[in-house]
Structure 1
Amino acid sequence: MSEKNPTRRGDSIAPAGKVRSDVADFVRKVGQLARPNAGEDGRLLFAMDATMSRQPTWDMAVSLQAGMFEAIPKDAALQVQLIYFRGLGECRASKWVVDAKALGRMMSTIACQGGNTQIGRVLNHARDEHRQRRIHALVYVGDAIEENVDALCAKAGELGLMGLPLFVFQEGRDPRVEAAFKEFARLSKGAYARFNSGAPQQLADLLKAVAAYASGGRAQLKLQPSGAARALLTQIEGR
């Protein structure tokens, strides 16, 4: 059965303490993952819902994405591919890039448009790309589900069997969306966290945490300045 009544901007925001707990738990789970083939360049697929309600968060992500590249080891590279959906059936993926400016330029040319979610197409694309060459992490940022959740769970489970973890960042607090997003993360052996759109540093640190994992596994995550978990907690407590 498809999910309706998606969470959109303007819905109530989770209490700061709850968000802080979710984010800290997410970073802890990322740190527990052991990425294979740590000697090769990291590959991160960055997926975003670009339907109309997402424009403010999209604009925020454009300004924050460069931080992902700051999290990688100096002797390694992080390859990032952007995939987004919007409008009436549009779902597009960029080329793979290793340059923050190139990714920023691509994102800055995209305007959000009204439409339904296409998470299934994102997961299918991730599966197909991973079969060609390993992807170390898939990040998805969104606030709603308007698709068959059971079908999406099956796709997330397939990614888990392939060794591609899904890191789901939820904006808003629709409990049905949260339950589904957490299940996607569990089935793919990834992790979940919620962020507040009014606190951009939360999303920035989440993106850095996954970039660190994708490029160097748990060891690189631990080498982040002040520690990823401590940085997240410091930023949230200060708001």
Structure 2
Amino acid sequence: MNEKNPTTRRDGVVPRQGEIRDEVAAFVEKVGKLARPNAAEDGRLLFAMDATMSRQPTWDLAISLQAGMFEAIPKDAALQVQLLYFRGLGECRASKWVRDASALAKLMSSISCQGGNTQIGKVFSHARDEHKTRRINAVVFVGDAIEEDVDALCAKAGELGLLGLPVFVFQEGRDARVEAAFREFARLTKGAYARFDNSAPGQLASLLKAVAAYASGGKAHLRLQSGGEARALLAQIEGR
């Protein structure tokens, strides 16, 4: 794949707000069609982000919104979240698993974005290894570019699908090549895809809450979430 300057990845096209809302709504509804996690255990959500330089605005946004993931947890359930990020020259690191919003915010606020190429393959490999050790209910990946071999990434995504680990892919921007690959990752893992606009933080907040609701309480709890985003994400998952 062609490499891009990490500070100028986006294609400059302004997303249409109505289209973004529809895609976010479809994403949220699709999540609820997944099987319910094991209620006897904490839900586990791997939250992976591209932390290269073009991600800085979204990184700051995610720090401010991530508390909403914990607000979506059922009262009789618990959610553990692990932060995974890549940046710079081959750096890809995972945090410990945490159970509260303040701990996750502290982890995220200690990280600064740096220029570099994508490392989505490492994200998929880490998710596979963690899932084999102890079940992960869902993976969230937020990114805007791919600078790796897409066929190789699809092979890794297919392995996650066989393991029953859904990946929910959030794309910033409107790069058609990236969208096609991200949609395929979601299809292969029986997850879901959505595009979001960082100028409308409520959309990303709804997506994060929806996946957290599924990871901790299954589709039954996701149905309790208000708004079109939750209903639409249920529908997308149903189609897998």
**Is TM more than 0.5 here?**
yes
Alignment of 1:12-161 (within 5 A): 12-161=13-162
Alignment check: 8 A CA contact 1:82 1:95 kept: yes
Cα distance 1:39–1:13, how it changes in 2: closer, same or farther (>3 A)? farther
Distance between the aligned counterparts of 2:22 and 2:225, measured in 1? 20
The answer as to whether partners of 2:26 and 2:232 remain within 8 angstroms in 1 is no
Equivalent position SS for 1:94: strand
C-alpha distance in 1 between matches for 2:60 and 2:101: 15
| Maintained 8 Å contact 2:79/2:215 | yes
**What is the percent sequence identity of the aligned residues?**
77
1:118-164 deviation digits (Å, cap 9, x = unpaired): 00001000000000000000000000000000000011110010010
- Tell me by how many angstroms 1:25 deviates: 1.3
Matched letter for residue 203 of structure 1: L
- Aligned residue pairs: how many? 231
Q: How far apart, in 2, do the equivalents of 1:142 and 1:82 lie?
A: 14
Q: Which runs of 5+ in 2 are unaligned?
A: 234-240
TM-score (norm 2): 0.92
Tell which deviates more after alignment, 7-16 or 86-95.
7-16
TM-score, normalised with respect to structure 1: 0.92
Change (3 A) 1:133 1:109: same
User: 1:3, CA displacement in angstroms?
Assistant: 4.6
What CA distance in whole angstroms lies between the structure 1 residues aligned with 2:62 and 2:17? 21
Once the two structures are TM-superposed, the CA of residue 100 in structure 1 deviates from its matched residue by 0.5
> Is the 8 Å Cα contact of residues 157 and 188 (structure 2) preserved in structure 1?
yes
Which position in structure 1 is the counterpart of 2:236?
A: none
Change (3 A) 1:58 1:135: same
Measure the CA separation in 2 of the matches of 1:77 and 1:21. Answer: 30
- SS of residue matched to 2:85: strand
SS at match of 1:184: helix
Higher relative contact order, structure no. (Cα contacts within 8 Å, ≥ 6 residues apart): 2
Which runs of 5 or more residues in structure 1 are unaligned?
233-239
Q: Is the CA contact (8 Å cut-off) linking 1:221 and 1:228 kept in structure 2? A: no
Q: How big is the shift at 1:18?
A: 1.6
1:230 is displaced (CA, Å) by 6.5
**One-letter amino acid of the counterpart of residue 119, structure 1:** I
In the alignment, what sits opposite 1:190? 191
- Amino acid across the alignment from 2:19: K
Q: Distance in 2 between matches of 1:13 and 1:123?
A: 30
Kindly indicate whether the alpha-carbon contact (under 8 Å) linking 1:41 and 1:76 is maintained by their aligned counterparts in 2.
yes
